[in-house]
Structure 1
Amino acid sequence: MRSFEMLFVVFNILLIGWLIFARNKSQRGLLIGFGISAIIMLMHGVIEGMRWQMIPAYAMTVVPLAIAAGRLMSKPEERIAKKASRAKLVTVTALAVIYSFVAVALPLILPVFTFEKPTGPYKIGTVTFDWKDEQREETLTPEPGDKRELMVQIWYPADSKAKGKPVPYLSDSYIFAKGYSTILGMPKFLFTTFGYVKTHAIENAEISNQEPAYPVLLFSHGFSGHKNQNTFQIEQLVSHGYIVVGIDHTYSSTASVFSDGRVANYVPQETESIAYLDKANEGWVEDATFVLNQVEKLAKNDPDQRFTGRMDMQNVGMFGHSFGGATSTQMLITDSRIKAALNMDGVLYGKLRIPASGLEKPFLMMSADDSLNSAQHMRDKELIKMMEDALARYEHVAVGGNYWMKMNDMKHMGFSDLYLFSPLYEQMEGVDIRKVHRLINDYSQDFFDHYLRQQPFKLLEQNIGDHPEFTLQKS
């Protein structure tokens, strides 16, 4: 719970306890209790924002006022007659305990989660772009002549004196709540919490002058994900001196909200066909290539002068989750500008395979043990065959001196922000999400620090082999 939420709920529970058990409850005391509760609720609403998960707690505020009003309306002899019997006291106490439990449980089960503070020395700035590729037709809409349009968000090291309110995790949260509802098949109101989540990034902040230029990393989300879905990881990398460019793959993302307010929602696709996914990945590679071209233009001549000469285009990497991880792998193979790539649990879809001799450029694969064993949990023979064929493509992942990190007690979506949504997710999936995120951050930073910033390894080379949390393979 957020600070004022916690204060509000605790005060109201104590107030209800006082109402039940205190022998002498003056009219003045009741009104003071109501007044304090109302003030805390007002501060919570103004500073943090009110949300439906707090409705039971909000209702507590009116209890002392209702009792005070009832006392004013009742006659003296009625007040004496209304002395609570022992049975009534037990009943009221039990109801109060249940009600208090609900008031506490709802905001805890569906919290306004926070991202851990990045450990690097830099503050974080962010800007968003709406880029249209005039050379490509949009294939996922029926309208002829549509051009491929992408929303792109860039995070960068900000000046130490930068000030401003942290930007929200999702600026159009109601649109994304609808998207999550449709994709996950759950009620829309469950996802309204995302609208209150803040990041550590400041919009349009001045870029830091600590270094003359910063290495650039492209980020590609998974099918039905979005460009912000790995904020836990993006902010950590930026705080340590990287510029990260997040891509929304239009119609394959949760939602893309363009600069003029138009919305492109997720379009269901044939995600159970290897042939379709291999072909679809070519489109994602084209997205990444186009974005990288645009980034090069910014590096040479940014109209806002923020990135001109500040992007180290000689040290560019890419990372992605799921289908975005496959895209990162394909970009490493096909685009000479990508010097190193990280694939987080992405099946190796795409046009090209990893050769028997391995990749000729630095590559780190992170896999969830649950994903690697997914075929064992399937009953549909066609799906089993699909997964077996897909996993066969992993044979040469670590060949040639590259790294394959197989994470224990891990699930596919643990590589994103999603499990922060509710502690119930962690319990159901058996993933300690904060611990997992720190592990991902430590090893992804170590990988890129070595290959893009020429720093010595601190973790990867030192931890080849089996460990309680993972197995790290290199051959």
Structure 2
Amino acid sequence: MRFFEIVLLVFNILLMGWILFFKNKTQRSFLIGSGISVILMLLHGIIEGMRWAMIPAYVLSVVALLLFVVRLRSKSRQAGEQPARKRSIVKLVLLTLLTVIYSAVAVALPILLPVFTFDKPTGSYKIGTVTYDWKDDSRDEVLTPDPNDKRELMVQIWYPADAKAKGKTAAYHSDANAFAEGYSKMFNFPKLLFSSIGYVKTHAIENAEIANAEPSYPVLLFSHGLTGNKMQNTFQVEQLVSHGYIVVGIDHTYSSTTSVFPDGRVAPLIMQDIKSITDLDNANEQWVEDAKFVLDEVEKLAANDPDQRFTGRMDMNHVGMFGHSYGGATSTQVLMADSRIKVAINMDGVLYGQRLIPEEGLGKPFMMMSADSSVENINSTTEGSPIDMKKEVLPRFANITKGGNYWMILNKTTHISFTDFVSFSPLFQLMQGRNIGEAYSLINDYSQDFFDHYLKNQPFRLLEQNIGEHPDFTILHD
């Protein structure tokens, strides 16, 4: 919860108790109490922005003001008969119950639907960001009925910014309404529950000057999960950028939560009819081609950026890729398909795609990160599912660590532990077996250690030192 939300809620709960249970309230005290409540509500609205989850708190601010007006206009009451004691006790119980219910609802709504924040990145760099709309005229868009449509992608680049960089901080989502609609379809929950994402901010500064501390920076492509989006791993992207990486996030149009183009067009999520593992393998090839196309465009920026931001500043000899879920599978596929990608991390992605890991291994540095619950699912036979995980998927994992690669399994985690989605509500966090902050730290520390070693030629700090079983994770390595 945000600062003024907390202050307003606490004050209004105390104000409600005072109104209901304290006698001998003067007009002056009513004026002060209702006035403070309204002022706090206005400050909250102006500074933080109002949202529907705070409606119970707003209602009490208005009720307190109305009670003051009514009290001001009412005539002095004459002394009368005192109510029966039994009636007073019933009234007290009802008032107490009303206070408890109001307080519970008023506090629960903004807590369950928070305006969450991202931890401050630990690196020495600030973060800059810029967004591009790139169209691949060589490829038809196969997910729309219009035969003239070409594949068009929204791409966001995060990069190290100077320590003195200042400017507008980027919102988590460019169009809160469109993404709330997308999340509603993605999670199958009412759209209203996702309206608070419009208030979530990042640490990235729009169009900031790139840092001059290093002549160039390694480049990492990021591919989201099926129905996810390029911002879904902001907790990880910002951390990597603060330590000297340029991260290029791809929205895989019509397979992402939503894509919002600069001219206002919205490409919604289109759920494809998947009937077999072959369907998933074939569909993934479009994502592989997306990554190759984006890498082509990044090379153009590195050679001659019209804005002169990235010209000569992207180290195209040290390029890696990482992704979550279906995007993790894409990272593995691109590592095998494109010589420009030197290293890759697959975060809890089933190994879908047209290329299988060879018996001798990938021949390039690779790291698999998995939730223990996902590994358990892969090792089981699912009744009624179009894909038999144990029979069709498990064999694909046999060669992950061949050739000296790594497989890290995080204990007490789930598929969404690798994304920001866990932060959307404490209800999602309750599904995890551990504190999500601890999981984020492990993901960030070990992914950075992996990339630092292979793209920056730094010695391992963690991976090689922690091979084997540990309370929080297991690292397998041939």
Normalised by the length of structure 1, the TM-score is 0.97
CA distance in 1, matches of 2:379, 2:50: 45
Conserved? CA contact 1:414–1:431, under 8 Å:
no
Matched with 1:165 is 168
1:227 maps to which of 227, 230, 235: 230
Distance 2:43 2:158 in 1: 31
- Tell me which of 242, 266, 269 is aligned to 2:272: 269
SS in 1 for 2:77: helix
2:137 and 2:78 mapped to 1: Cα distance? 80
2:66 aligned with 1:66, yes or no? yes
- The Cα of 1:382 is off from its aligned counterpart by 4.5
Pair 1:249-2:252 in alignment = yes
Residue of structure 2 equivalent to 1:131: 134
Indicate conservation of the 8 Å contact 1:370/1:409, yes or no: yes
User: Aligned match of 1:109 in 88, 103, 112?
Assistant: 112
Report Cα offsets for 1:410-438 as digits up to 9, x if no partner.
Answer: 11111111110000111134342221111
One-letter code aligned to 2:47? I
Structure 1 position 376, deviation (Å)? 6.5
Q: Distance in 1 between matches of 2:286 and 2:161?
A: 33
CA RMSD, aligned part only? 1.7
Cross-structure match for 1:19: 19
In structure 1, the partner of 2:7 is 7
Q: Alpha-carbon deviation of 1:15?
A: 1.5
1:281 aligned partner? 284
Task: Name the amino acid aligned to 2:8.
Answer: F
* CA deviation string 1:303-342 (max 9, x = no partner): 0000001101111000000111111111111111111100
**Aligned: 1:390 with 2:397:** no
The runs of 5 or more residues in structure 1 that have no matched partner are none
Percentage identity across paired residues of the two chains:
64
Structure 1 residue 379, shift from structure 2 partner: 4.6
Shift of the 269–356 alpha-carbon distance from structure 1 to 2, 3 Å rule, reads: same
Change over 3 Å in CA distance of 1:79–1:323 after alignment to 2: farther
Provide, for residues 140-179 of structure 1, a one-character-per-residue CA deviation record: whole Å limited to 9, x for no partner. 1111121110000000001111112321111101101111
CA deviation vs aligned residue, 1:203-241 (integer Å, no higher than 9, x gap): 001111111111000000011110101000000000000
Count of residue pairs brought into register by the alignment = 475
Name the stretch that deviates more: 274-283 or 121-130: 274-283
Residue in 1 aligned with 2:28? 28
Aligned 1:132-211 pairs, distance under 5 A: 132-211=135-214
Does the Cα contact within 8 Å between 2:276 and 2:387 map onto a contact in 1?
no
Question: Residues 337-365 of structure 1, C-alpha deviation per residue, up to 9 Å, x if partnerless?
Answer: 11110000111111211111111110000
TM-score (norm 2): 0.96
The yes-or-no answer on 1:350 pairing with 2:353 is yes
Pair 1:378–1:180, CA change in 2 (3 A): farther
Given that residues 56 and 103 in structure 1 are in contact (C-alpha distance below 8 angstroms), is that contact kept between their aligned partners in structure 2?
Answer: yes
Given that residues 406 and 476 in structure 2 are in contact (C-alpha distance below 8 angstroms), is that contact kept between their aligned partners in structure 1?
A: yes
With over 3 angstroms needed to count, the CA separation of the structure-2 counterparts of 1:364 and 1:78, relative to structure 1, is: farther
Q: Does the 8 Å contact 2:381/2:388 carry over to 1?
A: no
C-alpha separation between the residues in 2 aligned to 1:5 and 1:82? 40
In the TM superposition, residue 454 of structure 1 has moved relative to its aligned partner by: 0.7
**Secondary structure class of the residue paired with 2:352:** coil
Structure 1 residues 75-94: aligned runs within 5 Å:
75-77=75-77, 85-94=88-97
Question: Paired residue for 1:369?
Answer: 372
Structure 2 residue aligned with 1:416: 419
Task: Tell me which residue corresponds to 2:448.
Answer: 445
- CA 1:450–1:375: 2 relative to 1, 3 Å: closer
- Equivalent positions of 1:395-406 (< 5 A) are 395-406=398-409
Q: Tell me if the contact between 1:270 and 1:277 (Cα under 8 Å) persists in the aligned partners.
A: no
Partners of 1:400 and 1:457 in 2: how far apart?
17
Corresponding residue for residue 51 of structure 1: 51
CA distance in 2, matches of 1:219, 1:15: 49
